[in-house]
Amino acid sequence: MMAAMAREPHVSERTCIVTRRRGAPEAMIRFVRGPDGALAPDIAARLPGRGVWVTARAELVAQAARKHLFARSLKARVDAEPQLSEDVDRLLEADCLRMLSLANKAGAVVAGFGKVADALARRGVGALVEASDGGEDGKRKLAQAARRGESAAPVIGLFSSVQLDLALGRTNVIHAALAEGGASTAFVARCRRLAAYRGVSIDGATTTGDDIEAEPDGCATEG
């Protein structure tokens, strides 16, 4: 009985059909075959039906489509569009911006250089958002303010000013900050998945793809 109590709790894992690595569902993209054979990316992993999983990297999704690994794993005809990896990127991006919008509606977002600087001075910032097309001077000054306030908030640089305008219902958004809390945590988690998918860090810097392996010699579907 003591041995049973010492066992670690069960952690759900899935196997990528490209790399054959097992990992947390949050680090993968689920795909489901519709009744008509069309392949649907299931970003929220909620669609009914039998699905397969691919590690959340654009090149792996493209490889799975190009090498017909979806059909091979599902053992059925599957219509995977040539632009599937781009479609997944748009869905992941939209999911991030939707969460940012929800955080804003909950009153957890401030925008504008002055308001963001004030929020950093008061501390309690869960994430900084910088428009990818914003000026470097403002970003540098807010980074200095974050250091002075000993903030460890991640800096998100994945979205343009126009995208931030639409998500927040404002104009000319270059700098924004999210208060610490559940909304900020959920937004950052989604941004990390989008960044990993694009092969960049959350601030937009390119990362290496050294952890990507070649295509598998087998198949994997959900249990």
Res 204: pLDDT = 67
- Residue 123, Ramachandran bin (φ over 0: left; ψ between -120 and 50: alpha; else beta): left
Q: Mean of the per-residue pLDDT values for the chain?
A: 87
Res 144: pLDDT = 87
Domains and CATH numbers, the chain: 8-82 (3.30.1230.10), 89-198 (3.30.1330.30)
pLDDT digits (tens, 9 = 90+) for 125-136: 999 999 999 999
3-state secondary structure of 184: helix
Residue 121: pLDDT over 60: yes
Q: Tell me the pLDDT band of 19, cut-offs 50, 70 and 90.
A: very high
| CA neighbor of 50 nearest in space, from 60, 40, 59, 62 | 40
Residue 1: pLDDT over 80: no
Residue corresponding to tokens 């810097």: 205
Res 213: pLDDT = 45
DSSP state of 206: B
Residue corresponding to tokens 């087998």: 218
pLDDT digits (tens, 9 = 90+) for 54-99: 999 999 999 999 999 999 999 999 988 889 999 999 999 999 999 9
Percent of the chain with pLDDT over 90: 70
Q: Tell me the pLDDT band of 50, cut-offs 50, 70 and 90.
A: confident
Cβ neighbours around 19 below 10 Å, total = 19
